[in-house]
Amino acid sequence: MLYPGRLYVVVTLALLAFSSAPIHAASLIPLKMCVFDFVGHDGPVHKEMKEYKIDAIRWGVDLSFIIYTDDRVASEEFKNGVCDMLNLPGIRAREYNDFTGSINALGALPTYEHLGMVIKTLSHPGAAKLMRKGPYEVIGIAPIGAVFLFVNDRRIHAPKDLSGKRITVLDNAPETTYIAKRIGMTPVSSGIRNALQKFNNRAVDVTGAPALAYEPMEMYKGLEPDGGIISWPTLQITMQMLVRWQKVPEGFGQKSRDLMARKYANEIKDIEQSEATIPKEYWIDISSASRDSWNELFRGIRMSLREEKVYNTKALTLFRKVRCKIQPGLAECTSKNRE
């Protein structure tokens, strides 16, 4: 019987044996990766990275992992040289690369079609120079899912309905603070993990989360008895992989981006299945007028954060072009004051 550890060795050796360019173990570059997985060991990200390790070996790198359930700690360890590769939510990865970090801009990419087009564009070799900033290189972008607003009152439909409500704001996501200020909400400082716990414990009235968090974080606790999920997404959250590019073989980053871009369609299927498993009664359908209100709010915040250098100007222009390619009739496509 092959135990998991032995099975992994057999698969790895087989891949090496049949590679067009045989790789000797002694020639592999050992590299530590700080893996952020809020579930911990054998969580979904950790499992994905175990599969990624096999590809990394073919590219000349032997990965080992250190698992963190706190993204802030993982980022600090990466900065301090504990590891040379890292995965982070796009919002936190923004401090390493503001272009890819702007993918999470509020309302910038309303559907998975929009997001897929951007990821495909950025995985092209012609965009490689945008992936490097200083010693860091973004070597892959994966979808986590659209972030929806979880509210404890189903009567909330439009931004004006949130006035006076308590909302979680993340220390590294100024857009959440902007939403609170623009609408007149009470901000409650939170981390990614405890933001959802605060909603479940009734410490806040509103929080944002992708559908993937619903089941593992037991979000139904915060939705009962009168809550719901606004069906219009606020932003697209991604998981981004970074590496100190001088520590890996030439071409490693491009191969990694190509691999992750190819996985996009299957990852979106999983995300959509997660969204479909949430009971229908929790979803709050909103009117086109309410959607327009949200879009106008998001656009105003994007413009403000562009001026404050939080969002990358060139990235916002790319996203606007993608929106206009998919929907050429949008008013912003001909507006003088456009992104």
Asked if the model's pLDDT at residue 327 lies above 60, the reply is: yes
Whether residues 151 and 34 fall in one domain: no
* Omega of the bond leading into 225 within 30 degrees of 0 (cis): yes
Please state the domain count of the chain: 2
Whether residues 197 and 296 fall in one domain: yes
Domain assignment present for 13: no
Asked if the model's pLDDT at residue 278 lies above 60, the reply is: yes
Asked if the model's pLDDT at residue 335 lies above 90, the reply is: no
Asked if the model's pLDDT at residue 5 lies above 80, the reply is: no
Q: What is the DSSP secondary-structure string of 258-277?
A: HHHHHTHHHHHHHHHHHHHH
Residue 118 makes CB contacts below 8 A (sequence gap 6+) with: 103, 109, 318, 319, 322
- Provide the token pair at 180: 């609170």
Which domain does 131 fall in, by range?
Answer: 20-145+237-277
Whether residues 38 and 138 fall in one domain: yes
Domain assignment present for 72: yes
Which has the higher per-residue pLDDT, 119 or 178? 119
d(CA 153, CA 319): 32
State the pLDDT at residue 25.
Answer: 58
Domain assignment present for 338: no
Asked if the model's pLDDT at residue 227 lies above 90, the reply is: yes
Residues 237, 90: contact at Cβ < 8 Å?
yes
Q: State the pTM of this model.
A: 0.87
Predicted confidence band of residue 23 (pLDDT cuts 50, 70, 90): low
Domain assignment present for 12: no
> Of 273, 262, 274, which is closest to residue 52 (Cα–Cα)?
262
Domain assignment present for 8: no
pLDDT per position as a tens digit, 137-166 = 999 999 999 999 999 999 999 999 999 999
State the pLDDT at residue 50.
Answer: 94
State the pLDDT at residue 22.
Answer: 52
State the pLDDT at residue 27.
Answer: 87
> Of 167, 181, 175, which is closest to residue 104 (Cα–Cα)?
175
Domain assignment present for 30: yes
CATH code, domain carrying 71: 3.40.190.170
Give, for 186, the enclosing helix (H) or strand (E).
strand 186-190
Whether residues 315 and 228 fall in one domain: yes
Whether residues 247 and 171 fall in one domain: no
Whether residues 71 and 175 fall in one domain: no
Asked if the model's pLDDT at residue 285 lies above 80, the reply is: yes
Whether residues 29 and 73 fall in one domain: yes
Whether residues 107 and 32 fall in one domain: yes
Whether residues 167 and 130 fall in one domain: no
d(CA 34, CA 96): 15
Domain assignment present for 48: yes
CATH code, domain carrying 304: 3.40.190.10
Tell me the pLDDT of the chain averaged across its residues.
90
Whether residues 49 and 100 fall in one domain: yes
Q: What angle do CA 14, 15, 20 make, to 5 degrees?
A: 120
Domain assignment present for 47: yes
Amino acid (1-letter code) at residue 318: L
Mean pLDDT across 118-138: 97
State the pLDDT at residue 26.
Answer: 60
State the pLDDT at residue 42.
Answer: 81
Whether residues 182 and 298 fall in one domain: yes
d(CA 297, CA 90): 21
State the pLDDT at residue 9.
Answer: 38
* Cα distance between the two ends of the chain: 59
pLDDT per position as a tens digit, 39-69 = 888 888 999 999 999 999 999 999 999 999 9
Asked if the model's pLDDT at residue 318 lies above 50, the reply is: yes
Whether residues 112 and 241 fall in one domain: yes
The residue with tokens 């030439």 is 250
Mean pLDDT across 3-22: 40
Considering Cα of 101, then 105, then 108, then 114, what sign does the dihedral take? positive
Predicted confidence band of residue 10 (pLDDT cuts 50, 70, 90): very low
Which has the higher per-residue pLDDT, 192 or 176? 176
